[in-house]
Structure 1
Amino acid sequence: MTLFWLITGALVVLTLLPVVMALLRGGGDGRGTDLAIYRDQLAEVERDLERGLLSEDEAARTRIEVQRRMLDADRRERGVVSRLPRGTALVFGGVIALSAAAGTFALYSLLGAPGYPDLPLAERIAQADAARDRRPSQAEAEAQAAPMMPEPPELDPDFDRLLTQLRQVMDERPDDLQGYRLLARNEAAIGNFPAARAAQERLVELLGPDVTAEDLAMWGELMVLSAGGFVSSEAEAVLDRALAADPRNGRAAYYKGLALAQIGRPDQAFAIWRGLLERGPEEAPWIEPIRGQIGQVAAAAGIRYDAPAPAAPRGPTAADMEAAADMSPEDRQAMIGNMVSGLSQRLATEGGPSSDWARLIVALSVLGQTDRAQAILDEARGVFAGSQPDLDAIAAAADRAGLSE
């Protein structure tokens, strides 16, 4: 560390030395050198004339030209500023040197990394590869995370009874695809991620070649959640399988970026997460986690980045619902009806995120169209069957609308 600052200080001094020396020399009168040259030329003309190398006319013309140059040089040099007094030059040079040195060290302290050893790119990549190889296994990661997991929530007695029955049924029916899908979803909903991961793993095994990218991505996510947010080698391999099946799978891409950030490749993590942010949709469950982490990842990668502002939600919002509550029944029905009509048509033709389906379910219940809201709820559950966060959003909307599970 001391050697670094000594070398840096020496380089600053060597860089500033010519500037200070120039100030100390100043402009000077500068005439001595040029006039001495021209005097030598005049003397040379006389010697050439005596030796017969020049005629009288040639010597006269040469004298006139040299004398003209001497007058021009004298006029030029008279316009040069005289040298500063030595004391003033020393003070001025010292101020410049100190200002330049202080500015250099301040800029390095802000943008550099004092005390941090040089780390070439090849070595960084090698360290990242070594960190990837040294990662704990999935089983080790889950064992390490187990003490830090929150206490299981107190379940509704009816739900607890049904979940217990489901577990017992799956012990008796080890090849039930839909049963394992339902078990994984419900275990994840209560925070029992290791059990959910095991159920999803069995589901993927049963699906075989028919497994989808979303099934694999969900398995990878449950592996990460079971390990307390750590991406093991086994989890990353599952995520890679999901991305191979569907490179645009946002869930798998998010956790792949997390894996890269954890092993020391923030540059690659940033590239993945920036693409997800720009692609959206805004309501995707991985958008908010990315917004919370991408700034640190960009800084670690040496990249200046401002995340794009969240897009405004489409369809009726909670604010719209509150505004409707203050209207007359007729106006409220008309306003909600218009919004519901546009949202329903868009979801039917274009599809949309789970938040839009949730808004439609709540809006239909406000209009009193309970049967239609129930139908949309059932359809939404089928659309988002493989995504637990989306199903949670749909379930919350169903509770608000007072619909049955």
Structure 2
Amino acid sequence: MLLWVCFAILTASVVALLLRPLRQTQVAVVEPAAADLAVYRDQLRELDAERDRGLVVDSEIESARAEVARRLIKRASGEASETAESADDTASVNRARRIYVAITALLPVVGIGLYLLSGSPHLPDHPFSERQTAAGTGGDGASSIVNLIAQVEQRLRDHPEDGRGWDVIAPIYLRLGRYADAAHAFAEANRLEGETVRRLLGFAEATLLAENGIVTEPVRKAALRVLELDPARIEVRVWLTLAKEQDGDLAGAAAEYRDILDKAPADATWRSAVSERLDLVNRKLKGEKIPEEAPAAQAAPSAPPPAASGEMPDVSAMSPADRDAFVLSMVNRLADRLKDNGKDLEGWIRLARAYKVLGRESDALAALASARENFAGDRASLDEIDKSEQNLGLQGKKPESPQ
């Protein structure tokens, strides 16, 4: 209602400005005939004055009086036609004034009529936040994930000290084959959030792949730090052994590989890679000619196999099946992280949005329910969760199964 009152005030103001010229006070105008008569009278009085002073003779005065009389008669004959023309001009001005007033008055009426005919005054407003959410949930899963990555990157540009953001984006970069970006993100996460085995492993793996399998000093330091935090993670010794191999210490590398295999669990997924590496080093020690050496990076535990081009394909170039698997793996990683750290409000909202994109509304509702449990008593966080639920179109629905 207030909006319509504002519209009415603005319309009235515009109409008043348009009609302002018609309200100006008219200046009194002296009729031309009366002005001429006054001039002629002055001329006659001047002739009498000159005669009294003896400046002119009577014959000249009579001749001048006759000329003034002739002008008066001529002026009187033309007065009637001028009066008719003046009346016509006045009528024309009045008609133009009435047309101007009518058009000015009709402008708001026509505008309102066109809006009621072509507009939608009955529809509720659509805030920008809701339009942005609707746009983010449209399209396929890959484009939505790309949009989410862009949002996280923008967040990190604005807030580079957001350790949680670096921790979220780092494994995604690694899966996309953006190894240098992944290494930087893992390094920032370790600096801001503290060193953990997972982050150190991710940093070492990303750096190793970014350097084409060369074990640099940062990789060696990360491996040693992992062994300090978790001595049971013997697989990271592979990176230290690779460093020996690359430095030319083949005998020492072979001994390390054998010791790693002896201590490795039988079901370790990286045993085959270490065995291949040991076989290759033994062949070198025997002096055999190796035509094409296998990339050392493939010996890194948990390292994704490089594509033929040396980089993993972009998400937009993946097949539908690979794309779905990629999206699902990212969502599952986020869900697993939230199980360990439930105090990440943005993470819960992001997880619910991802489930919504995948069409899993029940899981989205369960994620929001878990968020409420973790933020019980925090009014501001609960309000944010309710707002997100409304924006996702999940308000009033109930999950079919618990998270």
TM range (shorter): 0.3 to 0.5
TM-score, normalisation: structure 2: 0.35
TM-score, normalisation: structure 1: 0.35
